[in-house]
Amino acid sequence: MHTDEQHLTEQLGATGFRLTPQRQQVYDVLRHKRDHPTAEEVFIRAKHAMPEISMATVYNCLDALVKCGMARQVTVDRGATRYCPNMHEHGHCHCDACGTIFDVDIPHELAGLTLPTGFLARHFDVAVHGLCAACVAKKK
Amino acid sequence: MHTDEQHLTEQLGATGFRLTPQRQQVYDVLRHKRDHPTAEEVFIRAKHAMPEISMATVYNCLDALVKCGMARQVTVDRGATRYCPNMHEHGHCHCDACGTIFDVDIPHELAGLTLPTGFLARHFDVAVHGLCAACVAKKK
DNA sequence: TCTTACATTTAGAATTATTCTAAATCTTGA
DNA sequence: TCAAGATTTAGAATAATTCTAAATGTAAGA
């Protein structure tokens, strides 16, 4: 049987990292509430269960999680980087009014983009900006 | 006849801005070399023709150009924001090795994304990360 | 077990990109 | 010409992130 903790340990290990209580905690925070928190929000949430954790450690842990493929960085606007434990290929839909971020599937047709000759694509970042239903309603 | 300068004046004016020598200069920098410069790079280039221009003014001008629809902000990575005078709907292709950014057309199929119910999309940001032909060759 | 090497955490300093502030200057319209 | 408001400027302030150095933890080998 493959527990979540084992998976995390393996992924970290394969990239030369160890599983530490802090990394486990930061990962739990990401998985618990998938609202694309910033490093600071992760820090605040992680402190509830682990009051001694420091901001530098949160950055270190997030960085390790990204490098080992257990989390992704999301940059929908110029503000703080956000983090997401959904590793499935997907894009982000951002409400410019309230800031909510929704995960969206991206169609395979995207692979049909005409790229510069010889360009080797490794990752697609798709961000849709606009207004969510609630904010459209508010404007009326 | 509709000169470029007239167009800039009109676009600025429609948004409540004036055409100033600095704004003209910053716009000229963007149009002259379309390599998606950062604000600092724009500043350095603008200083050649206008040595007294300040960084704050460059930010102000770039902001005015973005607001009036003559330039777009491009954020391919967590570094400094980049600017682009290509207002045609397009995405960006970023070489993670050398940092070069290429404009790419984005297919209309993108409009077929399944968005959250009621979401009103206003703008699509597409960034492709990978390696350009030159950097792929270098790795061999 | 003891030791050594190295990874990790921590607090705080440093850096980077950007925004803010306040004073000086410019522009436009009355 | 004058007043109101826009713009520019230098530098201070802020926000997000990275760096530094010391303390601590951990794993592997003698």
pLDDT for B2 = 63
Sort out which chain A residues have CB atoms less than 8 A from B83's CB and list them.
none
pLDDT for A22 = 97
Of A40, A58, A84, at which residue does a domain stop? A84
Closest to A127 measured CA to CA, from B84, B73, B66, B64: B73
What confidence tier does B5 reach under pLDDT thresholds 50, 70, 90? confident
pLDDT digits (tens, 9 = 90+) for B23-43: 999 999 999 999 999 999 999
pLDDT digits (tens, 9 = 90+) for B86-104: 999 999 999 999 999 999 9
Of A84, A102, A124, at which residue does a domain stop? A84
Domain carrying residue A103? 90-138
Claim to verify: residue A26 and residue A76 sit in the same structural domain: yes
Element (H, E) at B137: helix B133-138
B56: nearest nucleotide, CA–C1' criterion: D9
Claim to verify: residue A10 and residue A78 sit in the same structural domain: yes
pLDDT for A4 = 81
Q: List residues with CB under 7 Å of strand C.
A: A 16-18, 20-23, 50, 52-57, 60-61, 64, 78; B 18, 20, 38-40, 55-56, 59, 63, 79-81
Check pLDDT > 60 for residue B1. no
pLDDT for A27 = 98
Claim to verify: residue B9 and residue B64 sit in the same structural domain: yes
The rounded distance, in Å, linking the Cα atoms of A77 and B131 is: 24
Nearest by CB: B132 against A109, A114, A119? A119
Between CA A23 and C1' D22 the distance (Å) reads 22
Claim to verify: residue A19 and residue A66 sit in the same structural domain: yes
What's the structural domain count of chain B?
A: 2
Check pLDDT > 90 for residue B3. no
Claim to verify: residue B71 and residue B101 sit in the same structural domain: no
Between CA B51 and C1' C14 the distance (Å) reads 30
Claim to verify: residue A62 and residue A115 sit in the same structural domain: no
Percent of chain B scoring above 70 in pLDDT = 97
- Burial class from Cβ neighbours inside 10 Å (0-12, 13-18, 19+) for residue B78 reads exposed
Coil, helix or strand for B79? coil
Residue B125, domain CATH: 3.30.1490.190
Mean pLDDT of B45-57: 97
Of A58, A84, A110, at which residue does a domain stop? A84
Stretches where chain A sits below pLDDT 70 are 1-2, 109, 111
Q: Is there a contact between A107 and B104 if contact means CB atoms under 8 Å apart?
A: no
Claim to verify: residue A30 and residue A98 sit in the same structural domain: no
| B127 at interface of A, judged by CB pairs closer than 8 A | yes
A19: nearest nucleotide, CA–C1' criterion: C8
| B120 at interface of A, judged by CB pairs closer than 8 A | yes
Claim to verify: residue B55 and residue B109 sit in the same structural domain: no
pLDDT digits (tens, 9 = 90+) for B112-134: 788 999 999 999 999 999 999 99
pLDDT for B86 = 96
Claim to verify: residue A12 and residue A79 sit in the same structural domain: yes
pLDDT for A44 = 97
Mean pLDDT computed over every residue of chain B: 93
pLDDT for A128 = 93
Check pLDDT > 70 for residue B138. yes
Which residue is closest to D17 in terms of CA–C1' distance? Answer: A59
Nearest CA in chain B to A75: B78
Which nucleotides of chain C have an atom under 7 angstroms from any protein CB? Answer: 7-12, 16-21, 27-28
Residue A57, domain CATH: 1.10.10.10
DSSP B53: -
Claim to verify: residue A133 and residue A114 sit in the same structural domain: yes
